[in-house]
């Protein structure tokens, strides 16, 4: 007899589990080797605690009441629960603090291969280490993790979360218009973006062209120079931040796999400064991402800079398998 399970969830059988476990252990070993201690937090949290970290917890697909009538939610990522954990249990501790995890999280996505409603994420959080050195350390760990997974062709996109917020403020775009423009940018709908910007009063053709061009700039250092040539304070500040991050990465010798991307926008509300996305040529979907969230801990009463990343375990596994014919993949 067949008994159903909810959409977007799945069973894992021994052959797959064996490979996932091997991958999991290889990743945790990389984290531990670099001084990141593994933590675990409850899968269910109070909804208001999660909402404190990211107002848009609409992402979390599952909410329910407990016997006391309190609203609970399944976590939609690990960054917010760890921010909560650090604020509650490590207040006054010596910084920086290095934590890692492999945990399941839950989101209301349309289920498809490698994109489930319940999924495993492996990642690290570096608390109390400011940009750009902290960012560079996180990128270094990320690269070592990708290497350990055998994904030597994977590329890390590096962008700036504050670029468009500041640019739109500079252009005087506020309120609903600002949300609409950011929405088009996040979806990378260039046709809609041009329409949206052109319809705004006080925005000239030249400024529209600048925004459009900016969102398409990606590559090496030259992308920063091209961005700078477009002018404006917001662009100047963002390219300066990105330049500093790049220098820190170069100093650590981990800049080779990094691609600067001025069009990058993460859809989680807590990011600030550097943001990261991870791609592998064998997969049409993003492998994971991260970045800085210097304002997140403060929402929990502990004002500390922080950065981290998370990789989707199942997607990394799919990429490994797709890379195998090339002699890549496999746990090193």
Q: With contacts defined by CB under 8 A, name the span among 35-43, 106-114, 197-205, 224-232 that binds other proteins.
A: 106-114
Q: 């608390």: which residue's tokens?
A: 127
283 binds other proteins (CB under 8 A): yes
Strand ranges inside 198-286, DSSP E: 218-219, 258-261, 274-279
Q: Which is nearer to other proteins, 129 or 319 (CB)?
A: 319
Kind of pairing, strands 155-160 and 258-261? parallel
**DSSP labels for 199-221?**
TSTT--HHHHHHHHHHHT-EESH
- Rounded Cα distance, 4 and 75, in Å: 23
286 binds other proteins (CB under 8 A): yes
* 157 beta partners: 259, 277
113 binds other proteins (CB under 8 A): yes
181 binds other proteins (CB under 8 A): no
Pick from 266, 247, 69: nearest CA to 182: 266
Q: Which is nearer to other proteins, 252 or 285 (CB)?
A: 285
What per-residue string of b and e applies to 124-162 under the rule 16 or more CB within 10 Å gives b? bbbbbbebbbbbbbbbbbbbbbbebbbbbebbbbbbbbb
Q: With contacts defined by CB under 8 A, name the span among 38-46, 109-117, 164-172, 198-206 that binds other proteins.
A: 109-117
157 binds other proteins (CB under 8 A): yes
Q: Which is nearer to other proteins, 189 or 247 (CB)?
A: 189
Q: Which is nearer to other proteins, 300 or 312 (CB)?
A: 312
183 binds other proteins (CB under 8 A): no
State the nearest-atom distance from the C-beta of 238 to other proteins, in Å: 18
Q: Which is nearer to other proteins, 3 or 110 (CB)?
A: 110
Q: Which is nearer to other proteins, 102 or 217 (CB)?
A: 217
Among residues 1, 2, 191, 332, the one that binds other proteins under rule CB under 8 A:
191
Q: 């670099």: which residue's tokens?
A: 34
190 binds other proteins (CB under 8 A): yes
Residues with Cβ within 8 Å of residue 281, at least 6 apart in sequence = 153, 155
Contact between 100 and 36 under an 8 Å Cβ cutoff? The reply is yes
- Rounded Cα distance, 162 and 262, in Å: 11
110 binds other proteins (CB under 8 A): yes
282 binds other proteins (CB under 8 A): yes
Kindly identify the residues of this chain, within the stretch 221-260, that bind other proteins according to CB under 8 A: 259
266 binds other proteins (CB under 8 A): no
Q: Is residue 232 left, alpha or beta, with left meaning phi > 0 and alpha meaning psi from -120 to 50?
A: left
Q: With contacts defined by CB under 8 A, name the span among 19-27, 75-83, 86-94, 314-322 that binds other proteins.
A: 314-322
What per-residue string of b and e applies to 204-230 under the rule 16 or more CB within 10 Å gives b? eeebbebbeebbebeeeeebbebbeeb
218 binds other proteins (CB under 8 A): yes
Contact between 31 and 99 under an 8 Å Cβ cutoff? The reply is no
Q: With contacts defined by CB under 8 A, name the span among 47-55, 79-87, 152-160, 225-233 that binds other proteins.
A: 152-160
Kindly identify the residues of this chain, within the stretch 10-29, that bind other proteins according to CB under 8 A: none
Q: Which is nearer to other proteins, 224 or 297 (CB)?
A: 224
Q: Which is nearer to other proteins, 280 or 294 (CB)?
A: 280
Could you count the other beta carbons within 10 Å of the beta carbon of residue 69? 6
Which residues in this chain contact other proteins in the complex, by CB under 8 A? 110, 112-115, 153, 155, 157, 187-192, 216, 218-219, 259, 261, 277, 279-286, 315, 318, 322
């Amino acid at each position: 007899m067949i008994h159903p399970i909810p959409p977007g969830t799945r069973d894992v059988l021994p052959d797959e589990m064996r490979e996932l476990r091997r991958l999991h252990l290889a990743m945790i070993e990389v984290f531990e080797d670099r001084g990141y201690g593994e933590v675990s937090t409850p899968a269910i949290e109070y909804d208001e605690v999660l909402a404190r970290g990211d107002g848009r917890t609409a992402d979390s697909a599952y909410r329910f009441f407990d016997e006391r009538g309190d609203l609970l939610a399944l976590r939609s990522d690990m960054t917010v629960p760890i921010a909560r954990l650090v604020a509650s249990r490590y207040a006054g501790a010596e910084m920086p603090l290095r934590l890692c995890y492999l945990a399941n999280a839950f989101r209301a996505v349309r289920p498809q291969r490698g994109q489930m409603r319940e999924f495993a994420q492996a990642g690290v959080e570096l608390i109390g280490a400011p940009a750009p050195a902290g960012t560079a350390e996180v990128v270094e760990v990320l690269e070592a993790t990708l290497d350990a997974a055998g994904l030597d062709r994977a590329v890390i996109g590096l962008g700036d979360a504050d670029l468009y917020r500041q640019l739109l403020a500079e252009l005087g775009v506020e309120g609903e218009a600002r949300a609409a423009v950011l929405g088009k940018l996040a979806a990378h709908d260039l046709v809609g973006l041009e329409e949206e910007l052109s319809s705004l009063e006080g925005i000239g053709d030249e400024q529209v062209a600048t925004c459009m061009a900016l969102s398409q700039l990606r590559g090496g250092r030259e992308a920063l120079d091209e961005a700078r040539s477009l002018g404006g304070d917001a662009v100047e500040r963002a390219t300066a931040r990105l330049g500093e991050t790049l220098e820190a990465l170069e100093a650590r010798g981990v800049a080779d796999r990094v691609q600067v991307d001025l069009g990058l926008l993460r859809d989680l509300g807590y990011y600030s400064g550097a943001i990261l996305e991870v791609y592998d040529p064998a997969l049409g979907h993003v492998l994971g991402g991260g970045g800085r969230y210097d304002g997140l801990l403060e929402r929990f009463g502990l004002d500390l800079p922080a950065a981290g990343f998370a990789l989707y375990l199942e997607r990394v596994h799919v990429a490994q398998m797709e890379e195998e014919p090339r002699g890549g993949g496999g746990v090193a």
